[in-house]
Amino acid sequence: METLNEVQNVGTQSQQVITATELLEHWQGHRGLTRRLIEVYPEEHLFTHSIGGMRPFSDLVLELLAIAGPGLQEIVSGKTTKLDEHRVHDNSKAKLLEMWDEQTEIINSNFIQISLSRFHETIKTFGEYENTVISNILYFIDNEIHHRGQAYVYLRSLGIEPPYFWER
C-alpha cells in the first residue's frame, strides 16, 4: 500500500482520488441538503431570527447565492465582477428557493465547462480572491457548509429538528 508521501513523490501521477463528476455530485448533495434546510425554515423567522449578532439565515442564503453560481461563471468566462449579495427576494421563502434552483442550474451548466487542466490554474474571483480553481470550488462548498451549520443552530433554537446532515 502506498503512503501519501509516496504518492506525492510520483510526480506525473495520473491516478486521482475523485473525478470532476464526483466532485460536482458531492457539491450538489450539499446544495440539496441546504435547500431542504431552507424549506423547513419557518418563513416568519427566515428574514429576522439570529443569535449572538450573526446574520439571519436569509442573509446567509443570499451570500451563498452570490458566490457559487457567479463564481463558477467567472471561472468559465474569465471575467471577474464584484461580489454582490443583493438580490430581490420580497421576504419570500419561495423566491429564495426559486433563486436557489436557478443557481443550481448555473452551477451544473458551468461546472461541466471547466476542463481538468484548469483545476490547478490560479485565478482571481470577484476581483480580489486569488487561488486555484479547485481551491475556489472547495471554498464555495466549505462556505455553504459553514453557513448551513449556523442555520442548524438557528433551527434548534426555534425548537425545530433540522434535516440530518449526513442525508445528502
Q: What is the pLDDT of residues 23-71, one digit of tens each?
A: 999 999 999 999 999 999 999 999 999 999 999 999 999 999 999 999 9
Q: Does the pLDDT at position 10 exceed 70?
A: no
Q: Residue 48: what pLDDT? A: 96
Mean pLDDT of 77-92: 88
Q: Residue 165: what pLDDT? A: 83
The rounded distance, in Å, linking the Cα atoms of 51 and 73 is 33
Mean pLDDT of 140-168: 93
Q: Residue 13: what pLDDT? A: 55
Pairwise pLDDT comparison (141 vs 4), residue with the higher score: 141
With helix as H, strand as E and coil as C, how does 78-115 read?
CCCCCCCCCCCCCCCHHHHHHHHHHHHHHHHHHHCCCC
Pairwise pLDDT comparison (84 vs 69), residue with the higher score: 69
Domain parsing of the chain, residue ranges: 18-157
pLDDT tens digits, 92-151? 999 999 999 999 999 999 999 999 999 999 999 998 889 999 999 999 999 999 999 999
| 3-state DSSP assignment of residue 130 | strand
Task: Give yes or no for a contact between 136 and 75, defined as CB atoms under 8 angstroms apart.
Answer: yes
Q: Residue 7: what pLDDT? A: 45
Residues 6+ apart with CB under 8 A from 72: 106, 107, 110, 111, 114, 137, 140
Return the C-alpha torsion angle 163, 66, 103, 54, nearest 10: 10
> What is the domain class of 18-157 according to CATH?
mainly alpha
